[in-house]
Amino acid sequence: MKRNPPVIPSVVKDQRLVKERRQQIVEGAVRLFIKKGFHKTTTREIARACGLSIGTMYEYIQSKEDVLYLVCEYIHTELETRLRKSLYESDTARDSLRKCVENLFYTVDEMSSLIVLIYQEAKSLPKELMSYVLQKEEEITGIFENILIKGMEDGTLSVDENTVKLMAHDIMVIGEMWAFRRWALKRHYTIDQYTKRQMALILDKLIPREG
């Protein structure tokens, strides 16, 4: 069952201002979290980085964990938006998959620090917020699940019904792997090579058997 996004309460009422300031906060915090990690970043540093006084910052959040949540939400929104962009451009599901996976790989490349951030820090979220973040992760995986289902329908992709979800997760993880294993992969592959080869592996498996 789909859960509504958690509401982070703020003292300030003006919703336009809340949105604007929170964007500021996220921008400041992301940089710091990437560089030092969530726990080693202090609230004072975040405040300084986003140009607010510590008191003002706390008018827009309730705790440091809220900042982490806002950051995770921002990353997921950004990721989802980018992935959905290449979604409706293709005729066949096979073609759609190719485009979306390619898009995934290049997006992960550009957002790699952010992807890693979620992998490493989401665990520090309070339960309620964490489970929403996980749900979001699943929704994003759902993008690929849907393409695979379409491919089953239009006959351009060959997947077992029971393997659809698995394949979708595989694709996501193979994509994100470029972020969290980049220390090893970068020494042997460029993002272009990575994309081309992984794409081949993925699509090969999905060739519909002829005849």
Partner DNA sequence: GATGAATGAGCATTCATTCAT
Partner DNA sequence: GATGAATGAATGCTCATTCAT
Which positions lie near a second copy, rule CB under 8 A?
37, 39, 119-120, 123-124, 134, 137-138, 141, 160, 162-163, 165-167, 169-170, 173-174, 177, 180-181, 183-185, 188-189, 193-194, 197-198, 201, 204-205
* Neighbouring residues of 36: CB distance < 8 A, sequence distance ≥ 6: none
* Neighbouring residues of 101: CB distance < 8 A, sequence distance ≥ 6: 144, 171, 175, 198, 199, 202
- Residues between 38 and 67 with contacts to DNA, criterion CB under 7 A: 40-44, 52-56, 58-60, 62-65
Name which of 119, 59, 98, 117 is nearest 201 in CA terms.
Answer: 98
Closer to DNA by Cβ: residue 122 or 202: 122
Q: Which of 5, 9, 17, 205 binds DNA (CB under 7 A)?
A: 17
CB of 47 to DNA, least distance (A): 8
Q: Which of 3, 5, 9, 12 binds DNA (CB under 7 A)?
A: 12
Contact 69, 111 (CB under 8 A): no
Contact 102, 195 (CB under 8 A): yes
CA dihedral (74, 32, 68, 191) positive or negative: positive
Is residue 166 a contact residue for DNA (CB under 7 A)?
Answer: no
Interface residues with DNA (CB under 7 A)? Answer: 11-14, 17, 21, 40-44, 52-56, 58-60, 62-65
